[in-house]
């Protein structure tokens, strides 16, 4: 992408620094917007911490949502990952390939608009490792590569190349929870998630039943994975600096609860239980059960106290209640 200000100076290292980030933004005419929840990471140490805590290994297929100017993208590539980055901002999506090529000369970079993504494309032809028969060391890991998918992450139903095994992202603040739940649902191959989100959101994602921060995000994430907050991130590592602190959350995939109820049925019970948080379950679930008495019978049959509130139930208890409501 060209600019009247001329090209950005050659990369000074493997990662983006503060001066280059601002120069890239100025060159492209990018103004970080609250609408898209854009806050770019300036600090290379924070980038490497995210990659390290995600346990990214060379050759692994990693999906990143909201790569922005490319700070975390370059960190993932530095670790040897095979990255597919989903970017909704058309200007940033067009700028990212050039930025990556400048920092990682010779890297394979592809771009595709979301409507043109073919399900399973290259799935069987892009292995994580390539056998090298004349190398006494045996197989080696394929070099890192980048595929930029231009479009809304919430509209993604499939990705090009091999299925991703990790989601690593500095998520846009305004869509962090919907994006997480969407990708956990649509990509069962995801084994690990490491995301940077608002500290308040991190607390909700990792909350245990009975805590004041436990709610719909906590319960729904628990359907897919265990979640824990791993670190606090200060405001000064971002440009522009947000008004709140951020935090890292690690999620590890685990089997969904064993239940005859569907995920949609269980999530419907979760939504109803927290729609009126201070109400007892027998009242909160009355609308979905056909009345408070019917709700009370179903809740009791599930081994749950009808006078309890939603914040007291873990995902397994919600599943048992859903089974009784949908026999």
Distances (CA, A) of 9 to 5, 23, 71, 191: 11, 9, 16, 38
Nearest to 122 by CA among 100, 85, 88, 147: 147
Q: Does residue 60 have a known ligand-binding role? A: no
Nearest to 32 by CA among 70, 76, 89: 89
**Contact present, 59 and 129 (Cβ < 8 Å):** yes
- Tokens describing residue 45: 């140490």
**What are the phi and psi torsion angles at 260 (to 5°)?**
-85, -15
CA distance 22 to 69: 10
Q: Does residue 170 have a known ligand-binding role? A: yes
Q: Does residue 66 have a known ligand-binding role? A: yes
Only one residue has tokens 């058309």, namely: 90
Q: Does residue 174 have a known ligand-binding role? A: no
168-198 per-residue burial string, b: 16 or more CB within 10 A, e: under 16: bbbbbbebbbebbbbbbeebeebbbbbbbbb
Q: Is residue 227 helix, strand or coil?
A: strand
Strands 145-150 vs 192-198: parallel, antiparallel or unpaired = unpaired
**Contact present, 101 and 80 (Cβ < 8 Å):** no
Q: Does residue 152 have a known ligand-binding role? A: yes
- Binding-site residue numbers are 39, 41, 66, 87, 152, 170
- Binding-site residue numbers for S-adenosyl-L-methionine are 39, 41, 66, 87, 152, 170
């Amino acid at each position: 992408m060209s600019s009247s200000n001329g090209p950005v100076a050659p990369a000074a290292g493997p990662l983006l620094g503060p001066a280059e980030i601002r120069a890239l933004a100025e060159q492209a005419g990018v103004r970080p917007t609250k609408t898209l929840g854009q806050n770019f990471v300036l600090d290379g140490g924070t980038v490497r911490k995210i990659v390290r805590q995600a346990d990214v290994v060379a050759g692994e297929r990693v999906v990143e949502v909201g790569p922005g100017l490319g700070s975390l993208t370059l960190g993932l590539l530095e670790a040897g990952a095979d990255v597919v980055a989903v970017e909704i901002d058309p200007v940033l999506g067009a700028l990212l390939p050039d930025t990556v090529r400048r920092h990682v000369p010779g890297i394979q970079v592809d771009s595709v608009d979301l409507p043109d993504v073919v399900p399973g494309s290259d799935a069987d032809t892009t292995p994580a490792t390539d056998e090298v028969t004349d190398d006494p060391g045996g197989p080696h890991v394929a070099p890192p590569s980048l595929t930029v998918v231009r479009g809304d992450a919430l509209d993604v139903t499939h990705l090009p190349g091999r299925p991703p095994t990790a989601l690593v992202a500095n998520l846009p603040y305004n869509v962090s929870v919907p994006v997480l739940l969407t990708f956990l649902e649509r990509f069962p191959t995801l084994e690990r998630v490491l995301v940077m989100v608002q500290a308040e959101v991190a607390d909700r994602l990792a909350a245990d039943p009975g805590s004041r921060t436990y709610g719909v995000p906590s319960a729904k994430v628990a359907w897919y994975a265990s979640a824990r907050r791993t670190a606090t991130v200060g405001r000064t590592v971002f440009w522009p600096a947000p008004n709140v602190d951020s935090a890292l959350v690690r999620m590890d995939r685990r089997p969904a609860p064993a239940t005859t109820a569907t995920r949609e049925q269980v999530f419907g019970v979760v939504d109803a239980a927290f729609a009126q948080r201070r109400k007892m379950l027998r009242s909160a679930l009355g609308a979905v059960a056909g009345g408070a008495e019917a709700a009370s019978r179903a809740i009791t049959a599930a081994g749950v106290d009808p006078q309890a509130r939603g914040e007291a139930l873990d995902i397994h208890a919600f599943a048992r209640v859903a089974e009784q409501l949908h026999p």
